[in-house]
Amino acid sequence: MVNTFKSIGELKNKKIIGDFAIGGGVAVLYYVEPLLTYDLDIFFIPVEESIDVLSPIYNYLREKGYKFDKEHVIIEGIPVQFIPVYNELVNEAVLKSVEAKYGRIKTKVLGLEYLAAIMIQTYRAKDRERLIKIFEDAEVDLRLLRKILKKYNLHDKYTEFRRRYFDNK
Amino acid sequence: MINILSSGDGTLTINEDLKKIIRGKKLRRNELSRLPFKDKIDILIHLQQMAKGIKKPGKEKNKVVWKI
């Protein structure tokens, strides 16, 4: 895992990607009790606008000898999926990501409130399941969350989620 | 023994014992939430090992266990 984070960090140091942060299941796991997930999602800001922002990443990692499995690159034993920021919310979430320590290694993870807002936006079954865990187990800054939701017009969706799973508490 | 009591109007309410169990489970989850990131990843790998071999209907193959 240390070497996985080092290799991902190298991509930024070599200006192949811009800012990045861990998202998805591993980001949720960072804030709540351990849960089962199988890949490491890395949200990143491309260094330049291009139709194919993934090629430079894949080329670099291929040259380093890493293998590919469908949409994942297996970096030091871990399937990693690189996801370019695909809207304003995700872009802001990456820019405002927080530092996370894995042993002595420092990396970035999406902030809890941004992570929750992204899951409210995507709202797949697994997002709803993870959102329930977040609201039950983590200390969410509700003021910050509401600010983000308002900015990205997600408040109605959030209210519906609360009504459905938390009796609007 | 846990009694689930009727409130009299047909709806069920939970008694104090059950409330304690639920509180205890929440405390445990909160404890686990505060573990260092590295410890959580170690637990994740154990979870992946435990789930290895369980094939979901319609899925081609099992998911891999991280090799770190």
- Split into its structural domains, chain B has a count of 1
Both A42 and A94 in a single domain? yes
Instruction: For residue B58, tell me if it sits in a domain.
Output: no
Contact of B54 with chain A, judged by CB distance below 8 Å, is answered with: no
Is any Cβ of chain B less than 8 angstroms from the Cβ of A34?
A: yes
B11 located within any domain:
yes
Spell out the SS3 assignment of B14-56: ECHHHHHHHHHHHHHHHHHHCCCHHHHHHHHHHHHHHHCCCCC
Distance from the Cα of A163 to chain B's closest Cα (Å) equals 20
Report whether pLDDT(B9) > 70.
no
B43 found inside a domain: no
pLDDT in tens, A30-41: 999 999 999 999
Identify whether B61 is part of a domain. no
Domain extent for A84: 2-110
Whole-number average pLDDT of chain A: 93
CATH number, domain with residue A52? 3.30.460.40
One domain for residues A125 and A97:
no
Same domain for A63 and A78, yes or no, is yes
Q: Are residues A141 and A81 in the same domain?
A: no
Say whether both A72 and A148 belong to one domain.
Answer: no
Structural domain for B8, as ranges: 1-31
Tell me phi and psi for residue B33, to 5 degrees. Answer: -65, -30
Among A72, A90, A110, give the residue marking a domain's end. Answer: A110
A99 in contact with B, Cβ within 8 Å: no
ipTM of the complex: 0.89
Query: How many cross-chain Cβ pairs, A to B, lie less than 8 Å apart?
Result: 57
Q: Please name the residue of chain B whose CA is at the shortest distance from the CA of residue A3.
A: B68
Q: Is B12 domain-assigned?
A: yes
Per-residue three-class SS string for A85-98? CCCHHHHHHHHCCE
Asked if residue A101 and residue A33 are part of one domain, the reply reads yes
Which residues have a Cβ under 8 Å from the Cβ of A87 and sit 6 or more positions away? A121
What pLDDT score was predicted for residue B62? 57
Is B24 a member of any domain?
yes
Asked if the C-beta of B30 comes within 8 angstroms of chain A's C-beta atoms, the answer is: yes
Is the CB of B32 inside 8 Å of chain A's CB atoms? Answer: yes
Considering CB atoms only, which of A34, A77, A78 is closest to B47? A34
A122: tokens are: 């995507």
User: Which residues from chain A sit within 8 angstroms of residue B26, using beta carbons?
Assistant: 136-137
Count how many domains chain A has: 2
Instruction: Count CB atoms within 10 A of the CB of residue A32.
Output: 21
Q: Phi first, then psi: what are they for A152, rounded to 5°? A: -105, 20
Q: Does A98 touch chain B (CB under 8 A)?
A: no
- Structure tokens belonging to residue B19: 């409330």
Predicted confidence (pLDDT) per residue in B22-66, tens digit: 888 888 988 899 999 999 999 999 999 988 877 766 665 557 888
Contact B37 A136 (CB under 8 A): no
Please report whether residue B21 resides in a domain: yes
Q: How far apart are CA A87 and CA A147, in angstroms?
A: 17
Same domain flag for A104 and A125: no
